[in-house]
Amino acid sequence: MNITKGSLEHKTSWVLLWTLLPALIVGYFDSVTPFEMDFSLLYFAPIAAACWYAGLKGGVPMAMLSLGIWYGADRLSLYHYRNRFDLWWDIVTHAGKFGFVVAAVYRNKLYLNNVKTLKNNLQESVVHNARLRNLLPICFRCQARRDDAQYWQQVEAYVGEQRENQPVNEYCPVCTEQQH
């Protein structure tokens, strides 16, 4: 699949659009319910979805939009904070929670992509190992064959046992000594 920069930005726009709707719905219910009912956890789903499907380019803006929706819902609920510190504390803690969701989902997505890559590499290595296992070390001079236990036997005896391997030439210890 060939993804260009334009198509990636288009995908991010659609993801943000489709995740904004649930965030607005959560914001509406957050604004019409009493202040004691905390809806901030419900904002996590649209943030997580945006981050999962569009990466950081979708997750960070969705977290910021959710923070704005939460703040708007908080203001619409007509709750009066005792002082400005309480208001800023709520803003900072919500921003931290939303940022944590983005970081956790993005990290998990990277982890799963890494696992998928490692699984593909392992499958390729298994296939390559199977090919290497089928190579036969054969002496250049006397045509003896070396097995896995490092014993040399004549090719005619080995070929009678197995036929799936491919010969690879090298010198057996006896021929190596005679060569020098």
Structure tokens at 138: 């054969």
Query: Where are the domains positioned within the chain?
Result: 5-129, 136-179
- 64 burial type by CB count under 10 A (0-12 exposed, 13-18 middle, 19+ buried): middle
The residues facing 135 across adjacent strands are: 166
- Tell me how crowded residue 75 is: count the other CB atoms within 10 A of its CB: 11
Q: Are 62 and 16 in contact (CB under 8 A)?
A: yes
- Report CA torsion sign: 88, 28, 75, 72: positive
pLDDT for res 92: 96
pLDDT attached to residue 149: 72
pLDDT of residue 120: 94
Give the pLDDT means over successive 10-residue stretches in the chain (180 positions): 58 85 91 82 93 93 95 87 92 96 96 95 88 73 73 65 61 75
Spatial separation of the C-alpha atoms in residues 163 and 147, rounded to whole Å: 14
